[in-house]
Amino acid sequence: MQAFPHGTTATPTAVVVPPSLALPVIESAFSRQLHPYWPQLQEKTRLWLLEKRLMPADKVQEYADGLCYTDLMAGYYTGATDEVLQAVADYSAWFFVWDDRHDRDIVHGRAGDWRRLRYRLHAALDAPRHHLHHPDPLVAGFADSVLRLYGFLPRTWNQRFGRHFHTVIEAYDREFRNRTEGYIPGVEEYLALRRHTFAHWIWTDLLELSAGCELPDVVRKHPAYRRAALLSQEFAAWYNDLCSLPKEIAGDEVHNLGISLITYEGLTLEEAVSEVRHRVEECISEFLKAEREALQFADEITDGTVHGKELGAAVRDCVGSMRNWFSSVYWFHHESGRYMVDSWDDRSTPPYVNNEAAGEK
């Protein structure tokens, strides 16, 4: 495993973070790690996107590496085996493509298309083997990635992952309706929904794949472990909102913590930015406390037995990955072409979106 202070491209250059988005504590206290498998990961995920027809060849060639999807995962699950990391990275790439399809269905008012996709994803989640050759590449790619994820841990983990992702699909449907109707959720309503649209518990479930161990309920639901996991995900979701707020206001968006604060608490744009940033910074400081408690918990369950030793090691591995999430998410937002809106020819249409496959004419 290596640390890298700059970018992950072949010719790394220092990344310039705008002062309004800079978090010195992340840059100084959260060292950036990269799984040594990353070069092969990037290449194989690129090939997987092509094989599953999730992006056309020209889009993959021009944009896939610059979107940095594999960088995000290789900087997070640094303790995973190569095979696990590959499955997680392909799934993550699929997730971004799905998110783009969801957005395009909203923009173009394709309620029927979205409804059909929603039902098909629910079905593929329950029976991925039966959907591997579905005519919609998004459904077939999902089935392939889920089936691979289901191959590492016991059935109980698979069932939990499935329950969590069914909830994510329904949260995306709620967002579809909110955006279509122009409904801005209140602050608490938004925060609750965001935990599902950002898939907090999916990425937390995948920590166990990385550690190679299904954690029992008594560990996963322990306050110290659960709080550390939640804070790492809240940071990611809210930092994403902070980075996206100006462009989402310009695009008449309705799903952003800052927009909910402006609408329901009467804040100005500048005040909303300040408040979201404050929440992001608070997440970091609270995580540092929760991390210490979670590591202390790991020491407590390392009770001298073989099982206790394995469980304590798995918890420490998971908490270490939670820490990685902060730096990985932070740099991803400043390196990925997904967020370089000012460089797009059309700010309303991401250049890497597969319009034809998404049904656009």
Q: Is 153 helix (H, G, I), strand (E, B) or coil?
A: coil
Q: Is 34 helix (H, G, I), strand (E, B) or coil?
A: strand
Decide: 301 and 312 in contact? Cβ < 8 Å.
Answer: yes
* Residues β-bridged to residue 2: 34
Q: Any catalytic annotation for residue 95?
A: yes
State both tokens at 80: 């995973």
CA distances from 335 to 13, 71, 224 (A): 10, 10, 32
CA distances from 192 to 7, 63, 318 (A): 33, 33, 24
Give the helix ranges, DSSP H, for the chain. 24-29, 38-51, 57-59, 65-67, 69-74, 82-107, 111-126, 137-149, 155-181, 187-197, 200-211, 217-220, 223-250, 257-265, 269-301, 306-335
Catalytic residue among 30, 165, 176, 198: 198
Q: Any catalytic annotation for residue 4?
A: no
Q: Any catalytic annotation for residue 292?
A: no
Nearest to 278 by CA among 235, 249, 244: 235
Catalytic residue among 30, 32, 46, 95: 95
Decide: 263 and 189 in contact? Cβ < 8 Å.
Answer: no
Answer left, alpha or beta for residue 304, where phi above 0 means left and psi between -120 and 50 means alpha.
left
Q: Any catalytic annotation for residue 338?
A: yes
CA distances from 30 to 10, 321, 342 (A): 23, 11, 28
Catalytic residue among 96, 118, 227, 277: 96
Please give the positions annotated as active site.
95-96, 198, 338
